[in-house]
Structure 1
Amino acid sequence: MTLYYSLVFALLVLEMVVFMSLIVPLPFKLKRKLFAFISESPLIARLQYGLRITFIFILILFLDSVNRVYRVQTELSSLSKDSQHAAATMIGSERMEVQARKFYSQRNMYLCGFTLFLSIILNRTYMMILETLRLEDEIKRLKGDPASKNSKDSAALGSAGQAGEIGALKKELAQKERDIENLKKQSEGLTREYNRMGDQVSGKADETPKKDR
């Protein structure tokens, strides 16, 4: 196994460990503090950003492995169609070499595919746990639990649970601002053109009485 596929395997093992740690039952207060720390920690935010870039490279490796599997499968199918010619031209070691390439390509494809799939599951599980903790804290607050009121952990969970919605709203706001800027530019252009046309019309109106005289 090459170095980068070894790193992908290590990342897959890390994802499995993180997933198991997420589903381990913990007391509510401890779980709330843990997820509040994860949501507020700048180190975790940088780590998540780096992992997103890493998953882009893993996606490229996955597509490359799928392409390799397809090429090896095509080569094997072309050999099976003409088995007599293949038996005359290829020896057993060559057949084993093709089968080995097929095995390694499939292994790399499954490795990268499971790593990407587990990353999606981890993200959804994390967001669902955040939403569950936020709802549980909201229920405690409605019941009048004083510990849930004015809690920094609750505020952190609430902000983390709404992070995706806030990001979408920010993108929409930025798009609206760009639209407004474009409308302003168009309005300024129309105003300049209107003033120019008004000056031309007024100039012609001034010249007409002079000619009549």
Structure 2
Amino acid sequence: MTLYYSLVFLLLLSEMAIFVSLVIPMPFTWRRKLFTFLSESPLIAKLQYGMKITFIFILILFVDSVNRVYRVQVEASAANKNPDTQALGGSARMEVQARKFYSQRNMYLCGFTLFLSLILNRTYVMILDVLRLEEEVKRLSGHPSATGKNAGKLDQAGNAGEIGKLRKELEAKDRDIANLKKQGEGFQREYNRLGDEKAGTGIDSAPRKDI
């Protein structure tokens, strides 16, 4: 196994360990503290960003391994039909089968790693939702350990990119509102000017009645 596929295998083992740590039963307070730490730690945020880049490379390896499996399948079919290859005996067939095995192993390794990453992300989001709902239930029932601060933290966990996007949209809307206010002030000044002109014209042009 090459170095990068060995690293992918280690990443798969790490994902399995993380998944077990997420689904293992633990008290609500411990789980809330754990996920609050995960949502607030800047190191975890940087690690998540690095993992996204890593999974892009794993996706490239997965596509390459699928391509290799297809090419080996075509080569194996051609070898079975070639009489020269059949005359060589089992060594040529064993070589083709070995290449087929290694390419399929790499494809399954990368595929399971990507699939488990999606499962981890969805499980993390679902656990956050469950913790937020439990916190809300305790707060509504008047439980002393429930605080709105923790509920807000759980709402914002794992959504740093979404928050940044919403902030940019809010800034854009603020700029639009400021531009509309400036345009409205300009329209108001123009309206007042035209009103003053019309009022002055009406007074000057009004006919006088002789007494």
TM-score of the aligned structures, taking structure 1 as reference length: 0.75
Structure 2 CA distance for aligned equivalents of residues 100 and 145 of structure 1: 63
* Residue 160 of structure 1: aligned partner: 157
| Kept in 2: contact 1:133–1:157 (CA 8 A) | yes
| Kept in 1: contact 2:79–2:86 (CA 8 A) | no
Q: How does 1:1-213 map to 2 (within 5 A)?
A: 1-82=1-82, 84-88=83-87, 90-151=88-149, 153-160=150-157, 166=163, 169=166, 173=169
* Residue 196 of structure 1: aligned partner: none
Residue identity in the other structure for 2:73: Q
Greater relative contact order, per chain length (Cα 8 Å cut-off, separation 6+): 1
* Residue 197 of structure 1: aligned partner: none
Query: Per-residue displacement from partner, 1:48-97 (whole Å, max 9, x unpaired)?
Result: 01100000000000000000000000111122334x34313x34222211
Structure 2 CA distance for aligned equivalents of residues 45 and 165 of structure 1: 13
Q: Is there any run of 5+ residues in structure 1 with no aligned partner, and where?
A: 185-213
Q: Is there any run of 5+ residues in structure 2 with no aligned partner, and where?
A: 181-211
Query: Per-residue displacement from partner, 1:145-179 (whole Å, max 9, x unpaired)?
Result: 1221244x3321121166575466457x28x76xx
| Kept in 2: contact 1:65–1:105 (CA 8 A) | yes
Query: Per-residue displacement from partner, 1:17-64 (whole Å, max 9, x unpaired)?
Result: 000000001100110000000000000001101100000000000000
Residue identity in the other structure for 1:106: Q
Residue identity in the other structure for 2:85: A
Structure 1 CA distance for aligned equivalents of residues 79 and 155 of structure 2: 60
Alignment CA distance shift 1:101-1:161 (3 Å):
closer
Residue identity in the other structure for 2:38: I
Structure 2 CA distance for aligned equivalents of residues 161 and 7 of structure 1: 25
> What's the secondary structure of 2:26's corresponding residue?
coil
Residue identity in the other structure for 2:121: N
| Kept in 2: contact 1:130–1:161 (CA 8 A) | no
Structure 2 CA distance for aligned equivalents of residues 71 and 169 of structure 1: 46
Q: Higher mean Cα deviation, 90-99 or 138-147? A: 90-99
